[in-house]
Chain A
Amino acid sequence: QSVLTQPPSVSAAPGQRVTIPCSGISSNIGNNHVAWYQKLPGTAPKLLIFESDKRPSGIPDRFSGSKSGTSATLGITGLQTGDEADYYCGTWDSSLSAGVFGGGTKLTVL
């Protein structure tokens, strides 16, 4: 059971937009920044969003992040087949004094 809650899967057609929600509580998302990662099988996680809404250099602006209260959202526009992957949200939990992740969401581009 993960500390942060994500849907197990989402799907959309190529070219469409998809959002992936991540739900927490005040001690984690409510008071800390959120990071989003793309995870392909056999490869290390790739940072897509840091500090809730910032993109590292090299990450296309098709990827966006937002946070409101105790929830965060990853948005992906102009979906491509290469976006098929598992996506994870993560943040710091000030009560646990540890990092926490969501259970991951598998994105299927139909």
Chain B
Amino acid sequence: AQKITQTQPGMFVQEKEAVTLDCTYDTSDPSYGLFWYKQPSSGEMIFLIYQGSYDQQNATEGRYSLNFQKARKSANLVISASQLGDSAMYFCAMREGPGGQGNLIFGKGTKLSVKP
């Protein structure tokens, strides 16, 4: 069974609109971390945002926010006011176990295209 599921292989969004990229995860460990990475066409992997399983509030980093619904085991990435430069692959990842331990498990990614 997949531990990280990204159900949207590709998505389109109009420039300046908000977009939500879905991510569901599967773990029985009470302590875990969730990450989002961006991979533009140039190929580098860029860390965007992190959410710990015990964090009470949803993480935010500028135009990025993480809609963390623990009971549903979902960690959706919300990008507000999309820009052309947001066109990229986006990967959700999970670390099982407490911080400082455990390796990352990645989803297969969602390709986001921002239309002018």
Do A and B come from the same complex?
no
